[in-house]
Structure 1
């Protein structure tokens, strides 16, 4: 009797210790990676299809499962580029094409690293399938934690949490901040990936997993959010607009200041006529005055701001620039009192690299001819942005600072009763403004504070402590909004515990990688013994 051995040739030869079993065919994995990038993109403003975020997570998880580290890294890079090139397209307006693409590539690199780590964990997932959702959530959280910090202080744009403005999952921010929201979104994506992976072979189990997924999505409705219980305060936000959008904004400094003064004077006239409510405080945006009003050479700017404050009979929180120390500049929020003029200031703690200061200037010139538009490097402040403005202690974040967990939390632990984000979107577009507003909404829920965002050109508006956006302005228009807010004093659990949830979730991801490494070593040793 003759025995015939039939050799089977796998479509992809795995290296020693790589996960065994069939991965998705290459063409399908590439399609899934591309689809993941598109799904993640449309989850964010201006699209706002928040439920696409877990779909994108699931597609990437399926694409890299049972692949080696480098194959997973490549697929993750494909997802990242598909996502970030479009999500960050607004950076091209101010930086040009090359910086936009370099930033997109850098951000995609973090996602690629995470996808490679997910692929590395495949043997662990195959042995203990229940770990798939947990590892997916933990690795996403760890990736964001790293990206939020490096290089040059990090760039947190595109965190999964910031896509959930209209989702029930947003309420998890009150428990564990943005890291917990990201974890829950990615956990949902991991559950969906698991259900799809076993769907044809075990439809009953897949259906049960989908039921768990739906329950997870609805669970956010049961999460309590903070409710400001302090006295009411009437706040006016002034969006003065600029003569022209784009980098020319900086050449229009006096016109921009005049726009904000004139809009405030118009509000004061309405108050006198009884057609508008008298505000307790007024907030102007970042760069409302790009003229330093505290130096003698710019006494006219000082006079105009005083004119506005005296007319409205309320303190104005002015976004302005102060020159010094030395050749440097500071981006500040300055309290301007009626009758007495300038008071306390908050200096922006996190100047934006390559926009407000220029690291590696000589090297950056090789990438963009706009480098020397940053003539004077901005320097950061060293204390949280808590300012007394009329009856309220206001927690101030300037522009991109709202994206950083610690900078916002420091204002609340420092006594802030409401949150104010001053920003200048004249160099960008409505997509960037919408993405920033989503961050403001999350911060309101995270800390149980009513919040506002005021921009030179829009979008401006308010966010309630449960995350609802109200009184929104249009883009590239002059507008004033007046609303009654409540001051908050209590702390949410997220405020109290600070970075602890993120630390634990990152630790879970590291533990998963360590367990996967040990399991791979055991598999390799077993194969060698055979």
Structure 2
């Protein structure tokens, strides 16, 4: 009888059924891979969301939890691929401000190329993590590898680009206090440890393995508890008096790269805002400051400067002037110059950590073939022997000029030289209304806690801030608006544990990560040999 719509289909033969099952399995084989890939990118994007200007610091450990779930059971190359996807989910949106700098004429290549190079570091975390997952307390080893991978990012590419370190997502919240103990490396390790611990808790509960859940639960919670326990030790009181500081923000047109090409007159705008501030001081609208701070490269200095002499004399107090400082032979420095109201120019601090393609051009001959724009860049000479802390306004003031705040050593050198107050002058005029200025401020807030010092951030176009030693903000400006901040800050002399230890936390964490990877590789090789022995015996 012919089959009808109501009749069941005839049962396929064995061979036909097997072929159909094989095709079905082939179609489904890519599904777990796709889920893990989407999970890796999504986790990286969640980590991006934890960065400023969003106050969502608690998303960072959740991002590492997602990353840990994706990495579970992966081998090296699978882990490398998913780790790179995780990194792309973080760095591609985090560094969109590079587009604001270079402008649409250059296309997305510089932004995407740098993002993918940095993402490859997290690819290494995923690949090497495949070995340490075999060790006891795997979340701890995974966190060590994740933070150890940040160390070479301070060296390569282009002399280093440590932007987007895990710790920089924590300008507030439970983990921030740990900066006073072990600096940015310890904060980042604590965040990653909580996240990877949570991933292992989820895996244990899914497998209904109740007793082994204790160790990963401790890995999740102990960093949080430690951070909360350290907070009461964070000091904010004045130990050598106070200083009233003024941060001057002259602003500039929002024209991106046009500011560089057309030569925006930052000098005139900062002189004008300074004159408005002087008028407000004389009218009693704001208190007279003890120290005035100008932003990075707000003027050019190539010798005596009678106009700035008169301006600082009108203030009647010393100033720190961010300047492009010309040396003989058309050499330039990015400097912070002490300007006295009676004697004029004094000592200066010169920026040590220069910005690639902004203050110097790596592989210049090759780069100029790709981008003629780089021919117009006058390279800066990095500072080497300048004082890490400047004597001004009766105290020692340390400087971390803009990009330098991303590096651990600059603030540490200043405190070691006796700095009781830190400044972070910056020129954000090239980056439009992007997140870049807020990311810079987040780093400055972490440095305040790390060193136990107030930090004065003076920005050309915003955002300028006065940051207290516990990372709280006592004054803030808007973007692309002429404004000045006048606030009192404490002078502090206590040296934090982080400054006493110096770079040792980073070295210890990196060494432990290397030891863990080697132990994991050894363990895997032994497991393979044991399996081969069993297989041979069975044969």
Fold match (TM-score > 0.5): yes
The alpha carbon displacement at 1:344 in A equals 0.7
Q: 1:434 matched to which residue of 2?
A: 438
Partner of 2:109: 98
Distance 2:222 2:60 in 1: 17
CA drift at 1:207: 7.6
**Which secondary structure state, in structure 1, belongs to the residue aligned with residue 453 of structure 2?**
coil
Partner of residue 413, structure 1: 416
Once the two structures are superposed, residues 408-456 of structure 1 have per-residue CA deviations (whole angstroms, 9 ceiling, x without a partner) of 1001101111000010000113400000000100110001111111100
The alpha-carbon deviation at position 275 of structure 1 amounts to: 1.4
Query: Does the alignment pair 1:507 with 2:516?
Result: no
Question: C-alpha distance in 2, partners of 1:521/1:215?
Answer: 32
CA distance in 2, matches of 1:307, 1:338: 8
Task: Give the secondary-structure state (helix, strand or coil) at the position aligned to 2:429.
Answer: coil
Report the CA distance shift for 1:518/1:251 in structure 2 as closer, same or farther (over 3 A): closer
- Structure 1 pair 510–254 and aligned structure 2 pair: CA distance change class (3 A): closer
**TM, length-normalised to structure 2:** 0.88
CA distance in 2, matches of 1:360, 1:51: 40
Secondary structure, counterpart of 2:324 in structure 1 = strand
Relative to structure 2, which stretch is displaced further, 479-488 or 258-267? Answer: 258-267
The 8 Å contact of residues 98 and 367 in structure 1, kept in 2 or not, is answered as no
- 1:49 aligned to which of 44, 47, 56: 56
Counterpart-to-counterpart distance in 1, 2:81 and 2:379: 37
CA distance in 1, matches of 2:392, 2:332: 24
> Quick check: 1:377 aligned with 2:379?
yes
- Mapped pair 1:403 → 2:413: no
Number of the residue aligned with 2:119: 108
Check the 8 A contact 1:37/1:83 in 2, yes or no: yes
Range with bigger deviation, 405-414 or 40-49? 40-49
* Partner Cα separation in structure 2 for residue 225 and residue 214 of structure 1: 21
Are residue 492 (structure 1) and residue 499 (structure 2) matched? no
Q: Which residue of 1 aligns with 2:4?
A: none
- Runs of 4+ with >6 A deviation: none
Q: Which residue of 1 aligns with 2:181?
A: 175
Q: Report what 1:344 is aligned to.
A: 347
Structure 1 runs not aligned, ≥5 long: 1-7, 13-22, 296-301
- Is contact 1:65-1:118 (8 Å) kept? no
What aligned pairs does 1:38-437 form with structure 2 within 5 A after superposition?
Answer: 38-95=45-102, 96=106, 97-124=108-135, 128=136, 131-202=137-208, 204=210, 210=217, 213-214=220-221, 216-223=223-230, 224-227=233-236, 228-250=238-260, 255-289=265-299, 291-294=300-303, 302-374=305-377, 376-383=378-385, 384-428=387-431, 429-437=433-441
Alignment of 1:478 with 2:479, yes or no, is no
Preserved CA contact (<8 Å) 2:291 2:318: yes
Shift of 1:486: 0.9
Partner of 2:522: 518
Q: Which residue is equivalent to 1:20?
A: none
Secondary structure of 2:400 counterpart: strand
Q: Residues 523 and 426 of structure 1: is their aligned pair in 2 closer, same or farther, counting only changes over 3 Å?
A: same
Q: Is the 8 A contact 2:193 2:223 kept in 1?
A: no
Q: Provide the residue aligned with 1:18 in structure 2.
A: none
- Are the counterparts in 2 of residues 335 and 343 from structure 1 also a CA contact under 8 Å? yes
Per the alignment, do residues 205 and 365 of structure 1 end up closer, same or farther by CA in structure 2, a change over 3 Å counting? farther
> Measured at CA, do residues 356 and 41 of structure 1 come closer, stay the same or move farther in structure 2, by a change above 3 Å?
same
Q: Tell me the SS of whatever aligns to 2:270.
A: helix
SS in 2 for 1:482: strand
Q: Distance in 2 between matches of 1:203 and 1:425?
A: 52
- For the aligned residues, what is the CA RMSD? 2.4
- 1:210 positional shift: 5.0
1: CA distance between counterparts of 2:115 and 2:33? 25
Give SS of 1:342's match.
Answer: strand
Query: Is the contact made by 1:425 and 1:455 (CA closer than 8 Å) also made in structure 2?
Result: yes
Report the CA distance shift for 1:230/1:203 in structure 2 as closer, same or farther (over 3 A): farther
Alignment check: 8 A CA contact 2:204 2:210 kept: no
